């Protein structure tokens, strides 16, 4: 039987998990595998490790980003998860998949409640925090308690679910939750695709000032970063080692003795410092919430070297800037 070898807490009685009614043959024996599994086949360019190949391929599935929360011993614990799905409307069920090494996995048991906060597009820092990769200085999250369950404030949608069943799923565990509370706000979601954060309609917002051939490799080579209204993205006098492409929001370049310059989504700045290593001559200040991709000097140079035609086009765009200045 397929549950053999599974940890004891996941050995469930098949009688109690059988679905009473459903399409013929579906859902009647959830733990019976009909054939011995064959090794996964994948292209050689994905490398030697099938788990990495699978992860990279799964990364093509675009998802939202949630923070799963629970409270244990009067402490709130949260973790970022994109393996969240709706499972049933009647009864209302959702499903999350948690790595068995994650602390969260040890905190959730049948009968416990968990919160799901679906993050908005402005909440990349929150996602990084609950994935254990926040920089120092990232603000502490605030929680609202609903049905004794913490929910992340400012998220786009919230659910409280009570763990109905847990299922063994290899190196992950599945927690099927019965939804006891659901509400949502208006706004745009944070997305995750290909191992990076994305936003809805990014392409529509980015009318690129950069040549078409350079934009995708630069976005792929850079790190996405977010800034709040009034933040200095770069300061005059700092050594310039990054080019910034604005994905959303506006940036003002302030340079003494010069009129302020306003840049919108699709525009870029910091190229002179990134290419020459010279100090910044302007402050770049975020106007409202700003999302950028920051591309380091080395990455910029290797992208330019890899796309000679697009590099010529970029030279043209830089010459145009010089002429305008």
State the residues that interact with ligand FAD by CB under 6 A.
65, 76-83, 97-99, 102-104, 127, 129-132, 141, 192
In terms of phi and psi (left: phi > 0; alpha: psi -120 to 50; beta: otherwise), the region of 302 is: alpha
Q: What is the distance between the alpha carbons of residues 68 and 66, in angstroms, rounded to a whole number?
A: 6
**Would you say 114 and 70 are in contact if contact means Cβ atoms under 8 Å apart?**
yes
Report, in Å, the least distance between residue 124 CB and ligand FAD: 9
Q: Shortest gap between Cβ of 223 and ligand FAD (angstroms)?
A: 13
Nearer to ligand FAD, 120 or 141 (CB): 141
Peptide bond into 248 cis (omega under 30): no
**Cβ-based nearer residue to ligand FAD, 144 or 238:** 144
Nearest to 107 by CA among 67, 79, 138: 79
> Within its chain, how far is the Cα of 22 from the centroid?
35
Which of residues 50 and 132 has its CB atom nearest to ligand FAD in the complex? 132
In angstroms, rounded to a whole number, what is the distance separating the alpha carbons of residues 113 and 199? 30
Q: What is the largest CA-CA distance in the chain?
A: 79
* Beta strands at 172-184 and 190-193: parallel, antiparallel or unpaired: unpaired
Smallest distance from ligand FAD to CB 311, Å:
33
Q: How far is the CB of 4 from ligand FAD (least distance, A)?
A: 24
Provide the minimum distance between the beta carbon of 143 and ligand FAD in the complex, in angstroms, as a whole number: 7
């Amino acid at each position: 039987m397929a549950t053999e070898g599974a940890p004891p807490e996941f050995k469930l009685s098949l009688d109690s998990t059988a679905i009473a009614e459903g399409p013929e043959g579906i859902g009647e024996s959830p733990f019976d595998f009909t054939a011995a599994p064959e090794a996964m086949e994948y292209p050689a360019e994905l490398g030697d490790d099938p788990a990495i190949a699978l992860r990279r391929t799964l990364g093509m599935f675009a998802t939202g980003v949630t923070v799963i929360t629970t409270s244990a011993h009067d402490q709130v614990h949260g973790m970022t998860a994109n393996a969240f799905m709706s499972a049933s409307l009647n009864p209302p069920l959702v499903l999350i998949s948690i790595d068995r090494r994650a602390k969260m996995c040890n905190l959730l048991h049948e009968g416990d409640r968990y919160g799901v906060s679906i993050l908005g597009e402005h909440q990349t820092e929150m996602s990084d925090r609950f994935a254990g990769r926040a920089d120092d200085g990232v603000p502490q999250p605030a929680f609202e308690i609903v049905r004794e369950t913490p929910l992340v404030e400012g998220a786009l949608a919230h659910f409280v679910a009570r763990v109905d069943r847990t299922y063994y799923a290899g190196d992950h565990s599945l927690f099927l939750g019965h939804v006891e509370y659901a509400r949502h706000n208006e706004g745009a979601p944070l997305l995750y695709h290909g191992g990076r954060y994305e936003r809805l309609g990014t392409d529509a917002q980015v009318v690129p000032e950069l040549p078409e051939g350079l934009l995708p490799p630069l976005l792929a080579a850079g790190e996405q970063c977010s800034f709040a209204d009034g933040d200095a993205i770069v300061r005059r006098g700092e050594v310039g080692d990054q080019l910034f492409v604005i994905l959303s929001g506006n940036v003002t370049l302030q340079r003494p003795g010069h009129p302020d310059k306003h840049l919108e989504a699709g525009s870029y700045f910091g190229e002179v410092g990134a290419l020459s290593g010279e100090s910044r001559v302007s402050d770049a200040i975020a106007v409202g919430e700003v999302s950028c991709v920051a591309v380091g000097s080395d990455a910029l140079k290797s992208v330019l070297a890899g796309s000679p035609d697009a590099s010529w086009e970029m030279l043209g765009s830089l010459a145009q800037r010089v002429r305008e200045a």
